[in-house]
Amino acid sequence: MKDLYWRAISIDSIDPDYFPSVPLFMKTAGNYVLYKDAERKFSSADRSRMDRTGTEFMYVRSGDMSEISTYLENSLKDMLTRDDLDSERKGRILYQTSINYLVDAFEAPEEASNLERCRQLVQHMMSYLSNEPHALKSVGSVVEHNLYIFSHSVQVAALNLLAHEKLFQVHPDELIDVGIGSMLHDYGMIFVTNDILNKPDALSDVEYYKIKQHTQKGYEYLKDSGRFGDMSLTIVRHHHERYDGNGYPTGMKGDQIPRSAQLSAMCDMYSALTLDRAYRKAVSHQEAIKAMRTEAGAFNASLLGNFVELVTAQKE
What's the pLDDT at 200? 81
Return the DSSP state at 8: E
What's the pLDDT at 208? 93
- The mean of the pLDDT values for the chain is 89
Confidence of residue 88 (pLDDT cuts 50, 70, 90): confident
Q: Are 144 and 117 in contact (CB under 8 A)?
A: no
What's the pLDDT at 143? 43
Which of the four CATH numbers 3.40.50.10700, 3.40.350.10, 1.20.140.10, 1.10.3210.10 does domain 86-315 have?
Answer: 1.10.3210.10
Angstrom CA distances, 90 to 18, 57, 179, stand at 15, 16, 19
Q: What is the chain's alpha carbon radius of gyration, rounded to the nearest angstrom?
A: 19
What's the pLDDT at 4? 53
b/e for 267-296, b at 16 or more Cβ within 10 A? bbbbbebbbeeeeeeeeeeeebbeebeeee
Angstrom CA distances, 209 to 12, 132, 192, 205, 249, stand at 39, 40, 10, 6, 11
Calculate mean pLDDT across residues 252-278. Answer: 94
Q: Are strands 24-28 and 31-36 parallel, antiparallel or unpaired?
A: antiparallel
Q: Are strands 6-10 and 57-61 parallel, antiparallel or unpaired?
A: antiparallel
Q: Which helix (H) or strand (E) holds 94?
A: helix 87-107
Q: Which amino acid is at 169?
A: Q
What tens digit of pLDDT does each residue of 114-163 get?
788 999 999 999 988 887 766 666 554 444 434 678 889 999 999 999 99
Percent of the chain whose pLDDT exceeds 90: 60
What tens digit of pLDDT does each residue of 39-50 get?
999 999 999 999
Distance of CA 251 to the CA centre of its chain: 26
3 state DSSP class of 242 = coil
Task: State how far the Cα of 187 lies from the Cα of 1, in Å rounded to an integer.
Answer: 11
Task: State how far the Cα of 3 lies from the Cα of 6, in Å rounded to an integer.
Answer: 9
Angle at 90 between CA 85 and CA 94, to 5 degrees: 155
Q: Are 297 and 190 in contact (CB under 8 A)?
A: no
What's the pLDDT at 139? 52
The domain segmentation of the chain, as residue ranges, is 1-63, 86-315
What's the pLDDT at 142? 46
Helix axis angle for 172-183 and 115-131, nearest 10°, is 110
Whether residue 2 is predicted with pLDDT greater than 50 in this model: the reply is: no
What's the pLDDT at 91? 86
Closest CA relative to residue 20, chosen from 73, 94, 57 = 73
Q: Are 183 and 122 in contact (CB under 8 A)?
A: yes
Q: Which amino acid is at 250?
A: T
